[in-house]
Amino acid sequence: MIWNAERRIYGKNQILETVCQYRFPTILSVNAETPAAFQDAIRSVFPRYELRKEQLAPKVIAAPGQVPVPQKPETVNNHCFLTLDGAFRINLTQNFIALSCTKYTRWEDFARMLDAPLARFLELYKPACFDRVGLRYINAFSRKALDVEEYAWRELIAERYLGMMADEDLRENDFVRCTTDMETALPGGCRLKLHTGPGLVRRGNQNDQEVRFVADLDLSMQGNVPLNMAAGALNTLHVQAYDIFRDIVAEPLHRAMDPQEV
């Protein structure tokens, strides 16, 4: 694993979506009231609003010796605030606030979009702490878009993330499915869930017909994260995410994405 890799931004990054999420102990008022004051504070950047009604899995309750009785599913309001082009979205529920992006450029631009919504959320709702801070990057590498169609995946992706596809005696086109999934601890109290492997990417209601290589990095820090450590925790996750990304990407793929000094 590469640690403290020299950071680069990519002119041809292959990120489908970036998501950061702060989970907190349940705040019932978020579910019971319309967050009008919160909207007013962020409306200049996130003018569009949608409300999604989501049902949590029903709880099953039973006393000893009795037949379990399913309880009525709980409905949760997911308040969505979007930029005009829909590229950035804030989600607010009784248990989390999140920022997602489908047009990622660089870390500083992404993190800046969260500054005002998070500050207003803390001011209005005053959570006791954060139960989990998460950061997720979903990459889908296109050989066609990067003009590296003559390369096999074993030449573009580090061997440890390819599974059996790294075997030179096996033909890439013979694989119907070959993925790797792992969960591991990282330095600084962080954790990683990682999925890698080739697959089709869904765009709108249709699958893209090109087989891409997906690298889904889901990093988190859990367990009573103090409010004053929220920004630091997210930045720590970002630094480690880049180190893992560079460990995945072999040099020909790194060059094809047009790396630029920060």
Q: Are residues 208 and 236 in the same domain?
A: yes
Low-confidence spans in the chain with pLDDT less than 70: 1-4, 59-63, 65, 67, 69-70, 203-207
Q: Are residues 37 and 114 in the same domain?
A: yes
Q: Are residues 108 and 187 in the same domain?
A: no
Q: Is residue 106 part of a domain?
A: yes
- The rounded distance, in Å, linking the Cα atoms of 94 and 103 is 27
Q: Is residue 10 part of a domain?
A: no
pLDDT at 227 (0 to 100): 94
Helical packing angle, 107-125 and 230-248, nearest 10°: 150
Q: Which of 79, 101, 126 is the last residue of a domain?
A: 126
Q: Are residues 43 and 114 in the same domain?
A: yes
| Residue whose token pair is 């949590």 | 56
Q: Are residues 99 and 143 in the same domain?
A: no
Q: Is residue 4 part of a domain?
A: no
Q: Are residues 43 and 75 in the same domain?
A: yes
Q: Is residue 15 part of a domain?
A: no
Q: Is residue 48 part of a domain?
A: yes
pLDDT at 251 (0 to 100): 97
Are 183 and 193 in contact, with CB atoms under 8 Å apart?
yes
Instruction: Say how many C-beta atoms besides its own lie within 10 A of residue 166's C-beta.
Output: 15
**Interior angle at CA 238, CA 234 and CA 239, nearest 5:** 120
Virtual torsion, Cα 91, 97, 102, 106, nearest 10 deg: 150
Q: How far is CA 87 from the centre of its chain?
A: 14
pLDDT at 1 (0 to 100): 60
pLDDT at 6 (0 to 100): 87
Instruction: Say how many C-beta atoms besides its own lie within 10 A of residue 197's C-beta.
Output: 20
Number of separate domains in the chain: 2
Q: Is residue 63 part of a domain?
A: no
Residue 86 tokens, joined: 């829909």
Report the SS3 class of residue 185.
strand
Q: Are residues 105 and 188 in the same domain?
A: no
Residue 102 belongs to domain spanning:
28-55+71-126
pLDDT at 204 (0 to 100): 64
Q: Are residues 117 and 180 in the same domain?
A: no
- The rounded distance, in Å, linking the Cα atoms of 112 and 135 is 15
Question: How far does the chain reach from its first CA to its final CA, in angstroms?
Answer: 22
Are 179 and 163 in contact, with CB atoms under 8 Å apart?
yes
pLDDT at 68 (0 to 100): 72
Q: Are residues 170 and 232 in the same domain?
A: yes
Instruction: Say how many C-beta atoms besides its own lie within 10 A of residue 28's C-beta.
Output: 8
pLDDT at 202 (0 to 100): 76
pLDDT at 201 (0 to 100): 86
